[in-house]
Chains A and B, each alone.
Chain A
């Protein structure tokens, strides 16, 4: 027995390579490693003469330890809590186990033992340590191996660590007291996780740590481990893993990088394809966040997983992402949806699988909206399986109900699969119009999105690029562009404001339409703010009718900006509810006023002025606030009033009262008001004198002399009228008869035609005056001046048909008023009535006469007949024999 123990000791001595490597800690590897422990006095019966060659030894040794396996459980149960275990680390890559003893006390010795010894008879744990991707937490995870021979109830694990303050390449092992301790969280499955917070600044420092495990009353202590946290960073699984068929027909796997990782990652992608005709698995490592798989098949299932690891430098592979399964349809369109603009050319590809067989591309036909077969000339064959259809010069999609796209179908001869590709054609010709304000500090651009409202879910953004000066002739979308905030207005337009502006810079603008299907750009337009100025309206606008000249004069002040030459536009019109505007343009940049001819000098005119750059650039300003003319006297009255007279003759005296009557002058004649009327007299005896009548229109004076001439003048603020009417009252002339006949023909109730003939006369006729009034009534006498050359005249008035009118026609000579011709006349209806009455007056007497005659004739005839028949028969009463006889009595009685 003693010999046997000695042999085992020798064997151990053969295996244990004692070193005096002080402060040597186990370097934590990026991969899993194992911790194995066993009591120090464990011995095995090993065959003698074993070679020191490790490789040969291992094989033989495995056989030996397997034989001893059943003993170990019993052995562990008999150990006391004070037993010190030798523990070592090993891994698949390095199966030599480095046994450390008293390593914390500074008297370490390390011996190398084949790990199989520990694996079979010792206590074993799998350990992995890593740094979380947020670079704040260091985690060590350990799990007990299933074959652990001891009881694992009451498992307690502590991790003791120290993170030196100083960055050292090979740090000294610190004192035991300097280690900090954290308790690890253990689950019922004997899995424990230990967390060590690591400051960001110490990521490159060497972290020294070891484990203390207590289980079933037995203490295990791991050897010292060392690691630089930055070298064992373990990224989280990639995010947003998804797959799609690309426009080119590839299966694109893409994902997002974990957000907290501070360095670039490499990714491992493993995928499997399962289709009715094919099955393949692959594993690829890429440095981008996507992977393309070609030759994607319809009706196939793909399962994908991705994990990440630091690209440059050491690191740990992160966990695999959750598997993602993607199944392709029986008909594959690529791209499945196209968003494009009007006028562009697009193509769809298709692979069609029918009854587990891929349809030959030659047999594929294309339909649009299941209603229209696309002409074969638009097809193209891309290989045996892929068919392509091309649409050229596309028109905008017309929405059909809720469907805002065209459905493109790939069909196998007469059979179309229910799946289709979607084609969205959007009219992106969005007109952007800009306007610079009158202060040249703000440019407002407006655009309407009505044309693209059919594209639901799209967002619009105005982008622009500013060139230092001017615009290019062909504006283009610049790669360096800026977005501009625009706000939707009530009128449906978006409004974007640039302030301050660069007046002469070229702003190239376009609308970017972002949609989940892609983005489109409207045709760019370039605007120089200086060329789209809308000036402020002219100020200090005044309007007046010029005195004496009689023109409408408008004056204004040009706006402060722009400094360019301006042209002006004037609109004017009679003031009223609806002004009928007339336009007048002024092209003289320096002009500050303009005069226009207006027909009515005595009316209120409304005037407005606006301006625009003379070179035609920019916009018209708004109209200025209206200015109004003031009605005032422009000139002396064009003429005096027309007047007539009423003569009241006093038969007892040889004098007459003459009352002059005139109609007030209208504005057109008075220009524009009458301040007073003046009656100017002239007689041979008294000469000339004037009388101020004021604003009255009637004036009476006494006519006493043979001849008396009067003139009525109109006076306004400018002066008295130059052209006036004269009237001479002459006793002599009042007897001159020059009107031979006068007739009045009523045409209707508002018009009577006067017609007359003249006698030859030696006097010079100035004009006629006709008077009319209702006969036998004390009604107002109306009068009218008639030119001397006419022979008939239409009098317009309100004539009462049943009334008799008296018409008088006065010839007015230079020498005086002649003798009038006076007639009484009736309106037409009255005359006709009288004509009817005249017939009645004739017929009734005739009838009465005839009746009397007939009655007379009858009376005479009666008398004659009486005489004829009764002359020979005597009256019995006159006979003597008939005396006393009653002839009325019957005689037959006799």
Chain B
């Protein structure tokens, strides 16, 4: 089915936003007030000053801010959210299948691997921000493995995190770009010494985490 003109217009806005995420989402990292637009759009503005400034002089600040935020406002409805949801689920399934296709990722559940506590465990990830945070860590770990098997998965995680941010934006969630582990560089020795263990455990846990996320996406996770 060919996309409608409205959909295409939305996509333009999405790209303008995605290509400059700082511009679109910078407000999300700071305290913002959510205003409901009459048509149901979410408008993000910074908190108003407590004291009202008297005077009749026109202030261009709000107007500029409005224009500045316009791509973001358009972006909320730019891509049909249904498509974003579908793509998110499909991409999760794709990554899960990719991991399954890597033959050595089947880990015995009976055996616990010690010393790899920096790899996120199987804790339920309830919110979009936690999902993004978890995926950021996994992406950081996979990128550091420099394994041909996982480069593609790392790229997929990059896309998946972008999709999650898009979903979060549709819910007016402040979703700053999550960084990985700050102490990650100190783990270089562990990675070097136990590359295989790290890859196997990371992929195994990532697969489980993704399957968990897949189920939670149907339940409309919170911010």
Q: Which residues of A does B touch, CB under 8 Å?
A: 440-441, 467-474, 500-506, 530, 560-564, 615-616
| B15 lies within 8 A of A506 (CB) | yes
B135 contacts partner chain A, Cβ-Cβ < 8 Å: no
Binds A, one of B6-14, B37-45, B178-186, B192-200: B6-14
Q: Are A501 and B12 in contact (CB under 8 A)?
A: no
Contact mask for chain B residues 117-153; partner A; CB cutoff 8 A; 1 contact, 0 none: 0000000000000000000000000000000000110
Residue-by-residue, is B140-182 near A (CB-CB < 8 Å gives 1, otherwise 0)?
0000000000011001101100110010000000000000000
Partner of B8, one of A441, A469, A473, A562: A473
The segment out of B28-36, B46-54, B89-97 that lies at the interface is B89-97
Question: Would A473 and B12 count as touching, CB distance under 8 A?
Answer: yes
B16 is an interface residue with CB less than 8 A from chain A = yes
Pairwise interchain contact A503-B94, C-beta atoms closer than 8 A: yes
Q: Which residues of A contact B15 (CB under 8 A)?
A: 467, 469-472, 506
A564–B90 contact, CB under 8 A?
yes
Q: Which of A472, A530, A564 has the most CB of B within 10 A?
A: A472
Say yes or no: A467-B9 contact (C-beta < 8 A), given A504-B162, A505-B159: no
Is the beta-carbon distance between A500 and B155 smaller than 8 angstroms?
Answer: yes
B21 to chain A, nearest CB (A): 7
Supposing A469-B14, A504-B91, A506-B15 touch, asked if A560 and B101 sit within 8 A by C-beta, the answer is: yes
Could you name 22 residue pairs across A and B whose Cβ atoms are closer than 8 Å? A440-B94, A440-B98, A467-B18, A468-B19, A469-B18, A469-B159, A469-B166, A470-B15, A472-B11, A472-B15, A474-B12, A500-B155, A501-B155, A502-B155, A502-B159, A503-B159, A504-B87, A504-B91, A504-B159, A506-B15, A560-B97, A563-B93
Give the docked Cα–Cα distance between A560 and B162 (Å): 24
A206 to chain B, nearest CB (A): 46
Most buried by B among A469, A506, A530: A469
Q: If A467-B18, A468-B19, A469-B166 touch, does A503 touch B11 (CB 8 Å cutoff)?
A: no
In whole angstroms, how far apart are the Cα atoms of A562 and B158 in the complex?
18
What are the 4 closest A-B residue pairs judged by CB atoms, nearest first?
A: A473-B8, A563-B93, A472-B15, A500-B152
Task: Return chain A residues, CB-CB under 8 Å to B18.
Answer: 467-470
A177 to chain B, nearest CB (A): 56
Closest B residue to A506 by beta carbon equals B15
Known A469-B159, A473-B9, A502-B158; further 13 A-B contacts with Cβ < 8 A? A440-B152, A441-B152, A467-B18, A469-B162, A470-B15, A472-B11, A500-B152, A502-B155, A502-B159, A503-B91, A504-B163, A561-B97, A563-B97
With A503-B156, A615-B1 known to touch, is A469 a contact of B97 (CB < 8 Å)?
no
With both chains docked as a complex, state the minimum distance between the C-beta of A557 and any C-beta of chain B, in angstroms. Answer: 14
On chain B, the residues within 8 Å of A472 by CB distance are: 11-12, 15-16
Return chain A residues, CB-CB under 8 Å to B8: 473
> B210 interface residue, CB < 8 Å from A?
no
Q: How many A-B residue pairs have CB under 8 A?
A: 71
Q: How would residues 85 to 113 of chain B score, 1 for a CB under 8 Å from any chain A CB and 0 otherwise? A: 00100110110011001000000000000
Question: In the complex, what distance in Å separates the CA atom of A472 from the CA atom of B159?
Answer: 16
Chain B residues, CB < 8 A from A530: 87
Query: Which residues on A sit within 8 Å (CB–CB) of B79?
Result: 470
Q: With A501-B155, A504-B87, A616-B1 in contact, do A468 and B162 touch (Cβ < 8 Å)?
A: yes
In Å, the complex CA distance between A426 and B94 comes to: 43
Interface of B is mostly: helix
Say whether B11 contacts A561, CB under 8 Å.
no
- Interface of chain A, main secondary structure: loop
Contact for B163 among A469, A471, A615, CB less than 8 A: A469
Residues of A within 8 A of B152 (CB): 440-441, 500-501
| B residues near A502, Cβ cutoff 8 Å | 155-156, 158-159
B12 neighbours in A (Cβ, 8 Å): 472-474
A563 in contact with B16 given A469-B166, A471-B11, A504-B163 (CB within 8 Å): no
Q: Is the beta-carbon distance between A470 and B94 smaller than 8 angstroms?
A: no
Q: Which residues of B contact A500 (CB under 8 A)?
A: 151-152, 155
Does the CB pair B151–A467 fall under 8 Å?
no
Q: Is the CB of B90 within 8 A of A562?
A: yes
State the CA gap A502–B19 with chains docked (Å). Answer: 15
**Which residues of chain B from 49 to 91 have a CB within 8 Å of any chain A CB?**
79, 87, 90-91
Docked-complex contact B166 and A561, CB < 8 angstroms: no
Rounded to whole Å, the gap between the CB of A662 and the closest CB of chain B is 61
> B7: nearest residue on chain A (CB-CB)?
A473
Q: Report yes or no: A563 in contact with B158, Cβ–Cβ below 8 A.
A: no
Q: How far is the CA of A504 from the CA of B155 in the complex (A)?
A: 10
Assembled-state Cα–Cα distance A615/B91 (Å): 16
Q: Is the CB of A563 within 8 A of B94?
A: yes
Contact partners of B93 in chain A: CB under 8 A: 563
Cβ–Cβ < 8 Å partners of A468 in chain B: 18-19, 21, 158-159, 162
Q: Are B101 and A563 in contact (CB under 8 A)?
A: no
| A610 to B94 CA separation, bound complex (whole angstroms) | 20
| Chain B residues whose CB sits within 8 angstroms of the CB of A441 once the complex forms | 152
Question: Which residues of chain A have C-beta atoms less than 8 A from B156's C-beta?
Answer: 502-503
Measured in the bound complex, the distance between the Cα atoms of B101 and A471 in whole Å is: 29
Residues of A within 8 A of B94 (CB): 440, 503, 561-563
Chain A hits for B158, CB < 8 A: 468, 502
In angstroms, Cα B97 to Cα A504, docked, is 17
Q: For residue B13, which residue of chain A has the nearest CB?
A: A472
The residue that B19 contacts in the complex, of A467, A473, A560, A561, with Cβ under 8 A, is A467
Least distance between A467 CB and chain B CB atoms (Å): 5
Residues of A within 8 A of B91 (CB): 503-504
Chain A residue contacts of B151, Cβ below 8 A? 500
Q: Report how far A616 CA is from B3 CA in the complex, Å.
A: 12
- Are the CB atoms of B11 and A473 closer together than 8 Å? yes
B3 (CB) vs chain A CBs: closest residue? A473
Are A470 and B159 in contact (CB-based, < 8 A)? Answer: no
CB distance from B16 to the nearest CB of A (A): 7
Give A131 to B151 CA distance when docked, in angstroms: 52
Interface centre among B11, B12, B79, B93 (most CB of A within 10 A): B11
- Write out the residue numbers on chain A whose beta carbons fall within 8 Å of the beta carbon of B163: 469, 504
Looking at the assembled complex, report how far the CB atom of A671 sits from the nearest CB atom of chain B, in whole angstroms. Answer: 44
Q: Which residues of B contact A506 (CB under 8 A)?
A: 15
* Inter-chain contacts of B16 with A (CB < 8 A): 472
Closest CB-CB distance, B95 to chain A, in whole Å? Answer: 10
Contacts of A562 in B (CB 8 A): 90, 94
A474 to B155 alpha-carbon distance, docked (Å): 25
Query: A563 near B90 (CB under 8 angstroms)?
Result: yes
Chain B min CB distance to A489 (Å) = 25
Q: Which of B8, B18, B101 has the most CB of A within 10 A?
A: B18
**A563: which B residues are within 8 A, CB to CB?**
90, 93-94, 97
**Once bound together, how far apart are the Cα atoms of A578 and B8, in whole Å?**
46
Q: Which residue of A lies closest to B18 (CB)?
A: A468
Closest CB in chain A relative to B193 CB, distance in Å: 26
Q: Which residues of B contact A440 (CB under 8 A)?
A: 94, 98, 152
B144 to chain A, nearest CB (A): 16
Residues of chain A within 8 A of B11, CB atoms compared? 470-473
With a cutoff of 8 Å between Cβ atoms, the chain B residues found around residue A561 in the complex are: 94, 97
What residue of chain A has the Cβ atom nearest to residue B90's Cβ?
A563
In the complex, what's the smallest C-beta–C-beta distance from B160 to chain A, in angstroms?
A: 9
* Chain B: minimal CB distance from A468 (Å): 5
Roughly how many angstroms separate A504 CA and B101 CA in the complex, as a whole number? 21
Return the chain B residue nearest A442 by Cβ. Answer: B152
A65–B152 CA distance with the chains assembled, in angstroms: 91
Tell me the minimal C-beta distance from B121 to chain A in angstroms.
26
**CB of A476, distance to nearest CB on chain B (Å):** 10
Residue of A nearest to B16 (CB): A472
Chain A residues with CB under 8 Å of B19's CB are 467-468
Residue among A470, A473, A500, A615 with the highest chain B CB neighbour number at 10 A: A470
Q: Chain B contacts of A505 at CB under 8 A? A: 159
How many Å from the CB of B12 to the closest CB on chain A? 5
- The residues of B that contact A473 with a CB separation of less than 8 Å are 8-9, 11-12
Q: In the assembly, what is the distance between CA of A500 and CA of B98, in Å?
A: 13
Q: How far is the CB of B105 from chain A (nearest CB, A)?
A: 15
Q: With A and B bound together, what is the CA distance between A505 and B155 in angstroms?
A: 10
When C-beta atoms are compared, the residue in chain B nearest to A474 turns out to be B12
